A and B are shown apart, each in its own frame.
Chain A
């Protein structure tokens, strides 16, 4: 397919992206705060205080939950998105986790931006005869 070949060669000429550093996790979900609130109510007696202490201790190991977009695509498109992320200033980088060459986890608000960038890229690789 001519178009795919053109796109692949265009992508392969792109500079290799720098190694990805996963940004810090976003704030913990309300699950932990619920636990903390529950623990606070059990500090009346000595026995209960001990349980509270163990609950608090377990809360420190609780699961983190992060909201975002799960992206599945082919390898060239994944490289395009990685390159797009690398070209952004640090505050605008959106890839939270690079899961494998065809899957990634990104900020939830960037869906439309990625789509428009892909569309823009596709338009750059096509020519329309003037009317």
Chain B
């Protein structure tokens, strides 16, 4: 994965950002407590479990003795995380010493969980009502197809056969930061947008869900309720049907949006309607590092700059079109070539040569992935050379100083500018010097002092 500028934080970062009162409300639900516990770093998990039946505050100094000295940094990270999520609450006694106490709601719910065992947020509908449900394979293909359809619409692709029913203002919310639109021009993918497309599906999903939740208040919806519902959703069983009647109005509206994204599938019976969580939904509470979905590569690049992508995905075709010239789009094969003109189109959008090369290497077809290198060197070198060809002229806004009355004054000014790292050019013979434009006022002040 290339250096991703788009921070695809998971839910727990959003949870941690909530104000204390809302966070405490969130812990009314045992499922959220469980999800939070799952998301903690290992040491923080240990501390949470260790404190589960301790009701009195434990001194911070005493807690530091739970780890060896060389793990003090890990200890600090774990404690910070517990405090951010308000699993631990800081307590100060009369002697101003810091102690940590467990959040009472969190503690109560987790104790009950241990004693009674886990339960589902809601019972699935019996199979006598739903008759035939989609198989897991069908659900997965539905989810990916729906998600891809959303992504194509997100990047304003002309390949969208059937768009989602999101309003244009909602789409603009999702596109914020991914697409840029100049006056009169069609929106184009930004550097962040390209990086977004290169992310794996779970990371993309978190980004979109974050935008969805962040914009909730603009739609008159409480973000806390949304977060609560989404975390709850991840505890539903994959492939089981759950009735829409058990949902609140906010949740029912959210479910329809989630169906557009491929997180759930909606179905209608004679009397009932129900939703079926897909794998995308059950992955919501998984942390980024737990993700183990390694997609198989599909791209073969030849030394003659021809490119063959063995893929049925229209989204893959759109991604390749960003930096290559797609010549044929067959049902399961995309044939293209990497040309200077197509790469310049990508460079103008802010996509870098390194991003393109990383994409080609990480998505190399299994037949070429083991070769060294997976992408021919003449191709990667040429991509880099074409990029540097764009940057042959370097321009810096500056001030030129001339007509110095004395050599001594000229030398002092040169040294002054050089010491501040703002000297761009000097010509001792003609006594000229050039400094960055932002340094002009300081230089003027320096000249005044030399008077």
Question: What residues make up the interface of A, taking CB atoms closer than 8 Å to B?
Answer: 1, 3, 25, 29, 31, 34-35, 58, 61-74, 77, 81, 96-97, 99, 103, 105, 108, 111, 114-115, 118, 122, 126, 128-129
The answer to whether A73 touches B393, judged by C-beta atoms less than 8 angstroms apart, is yes
**In the complex, chain B residues whose CB is within 8 Å of the CB of A71:** 393-396
**In the complex, chain A residues whose CB is within 8 Å of the CB of B413:** 63
Q: Which of A25, A66, A69, A126 contacts B397 (CB 8 A)?
A: A69
**In the complex, chain B residues whose CB is within 8 Å of the CB of A129:** 325
Q: Does B98 contact A (CB under 8 A)?
A: no
Which B residue sits closest to A31, measured CB to CB? B444
The answer to whether B341 touches A70, judged by C-beta atoms less than 8 angstroms apart, is no
Question: Can you list 10 residue pairs at the A/B interface with Cβ under 8 Å?
Answer: A58-B451, A61-B405, A64-B401, A69-B395, A70-B397, A70-B424, A72-B394, A73-B392, A114-B395, A115-B393
Which A residue sits closest to B398, measured CB to CB? A70
**In the complex, chain A residues whose CB is within 8 Å of the CB of B385:** 1
CA distance A34 to B363 in the complex (A): 64
If over half of B's interface residues share one DSSP class (helix, strand or loop), that class is named, otherwise mixed; here it is mixed
The answer to whether A70 touches B392, judged by C-beta atoms less than 8 angstroms apart, is no
Least Cβ–Cβ distance between B412 and chain A, in angstroms: 12
| A70-B396 contact, Cβ under 8 Å, with A29-B444, A65-B444, A126-B341 | yes
Least Cβ–Cβ distance between A63 and chain B, in angstroms: 5
Q: Does B339 contact A (CB under 8 A)?
A: yes
The answer to whether B403 touches A69, judged by C-beta atoms less than 8 angstroms apart, is no
Q: Tell me how many residue pairs across A and B have CB atoms closer than 8 Å.
A: 97
Which B residue sits closest to A108, measured CB to CB? B397
The answer to whether B400 touches A103, judged by C-beta atoms less than 8 angstroms apart, is no
| A128-B339 contact, Cβ under 8 Å, with A65-B440, A73-B394, A103-B425 | yes
CA distance A115 to B340 in the complex (A): 18
Pick from A3, A31, A111 the residue with the most CB of B within 10 Å: A31
**In the complex, chain B residues whose CB is within 8 Å of the CB of A77:** 392-393
A-B pairs with the 10 shortest C-beta distances?
Answer: A61-B405, A70-B398, A73-B393, A72-B394, A66-B400, A64-B403, A70-B396, A128-B341, A70-B424, A77-B392
**In the complex, chain A residues whose CB is within 8 Å of the CB of B404:** 63
Which B residue sits closest to A78, measured CB to CB? B393
The answer to whether B403 touches A97, judged by C-beta atoms less than 8 angstroms apart, is no
Least Cβ–Cβ distance between A34 and chain B, in angstroms: 8
The answer to whether A31 touches B425, judged by C-beta atoms less than 8 angstroms apart, is no
CA distance A59 to B206 in the complex (A): 65
On chain B, the number of residues with a Cβ less than 8 Å from chain A's Cβ atoms is: 34
Q: Does B222 contact A (CB under 8 A)?
A: no
**In the complex, chain A residues whose CB is within 8 Å of the CB of B402:** 25, 63-64, 66
CA distance A71 to B397 in the complex (A): 9
The answer to whether B393 touches A118, judged by C-beta atoms less than 8 angstroms apart, is yes
Q: Does B13 contact A (CB under 8 A)?
A: no
Q: Does B91 contact A (CB under 8 A)?
A: no
CA distance A63 to B397 in the complex (A): 19
The answer to whether A67 touches B393, judged by C-beta atoms less than 8 angstroms apart, is no
Q: Which of B340, B443, B444 contacts A126 (CB 8 A)?
A: B340
**In the complex, chain B residues whose CB is within 8 Å of the CB of A69:** 395-398
Q: Does B20 contact A (CB under 8 A)?
A: no
CA distance A84 to B448 in the complex (A): 39
The answer to whether B392 touches A74, judged by C-beta atoms less than 8 angstroms apart, is yes
Q: Does B427 contact A (CB under 8 A)?
A: yes
Interface readout for B410-451 with A: 1 if CB under 8 Å, 0 if not? 000100000000001101000010100100100110011001
CA distance A73 to B394 in the complex (A): 6
Q: Does B399 contact A (CB under 8 A)?
A: yes
CA distance A10 to B327 in the complex (A): 31
Q: Which of B339, B427, B447 contacts A63 (CB 8 A)?
A: B447
Pick from B393, B401, B440 the residue with the most CB of A within 10 Å: B393
| A31-B448 contact, Cβ under 8 Å, with A67-B437, A69-B397 | yes
Q: Which of B389, B393, B403, B440 contacts A61 (CB 8 A)?
A: B403
The answer to whether A68 touches B398, judged by C-beta atoms less than 8 angstroms apart, is yes
**In the complex, chain B residues whose CB is within 8 Å of the CB of A118:** 392-393
**In the complex, chain B residues whose CB is within 8 Å of the CB of A3:** 340, 389
CA distance A129 to B305 in the complex (A): 15
CA distance A29 to B400 in the complex (A): 11
CA distance A58 to B447 in the complex (A): 13
Least Cβ–Cβ distance between A100 and chain B, in angstroms: 9
The answer to whether A67 touches B399, judged by C-beta atoms less than 8 angstroms apart, is yes
Interface readout for B313-357 with A: 1 if CB under 8 Å, 0 if not? 000000000000100000000000001110000000000000000
The answer to whether B393 touches A63, judged by C-beta atoms less than 8 angstroms apart, is no
Q: Which of A35, A58, A73, A99 contacts B427 (CB 8 A)?
A: A99
Which B residue sits closest to A1, measured CB to CB? B385
Least Cβ–Cβ distance between A67 and chain B, in angstroms: 5
CA distance A115 to B440 in the complex (A): 25
The answer to whether B400 touches A105, judged by C-beta atoms less than 8 angstroms apart, is yes
Least Cβ–Cβ distance between A129 and chain B, in angstroms: 8
CA distance A42 to B448 in the complex (A): 17
**In the complex, chain B residues whose CB is within 8 Å of the CB of A34:** 448
The answer to whether A63 touches B394, judged by C-beta atoms less than 8 angstroms apart, is no
**In the complex, chain B residues whose CB is within 8 Å of the CB of A64:** 401-403
Which B residue sits closest to A74, measured CB to CB? B392
Which A residue sits closest to B402, measured CB to CB? A64
CA distance A67 to B99 in the complex (A): 61
**In the complex, chain B residues whose CB is within 8 Å of the CB of A63:** 401-405, 409, 413, 447
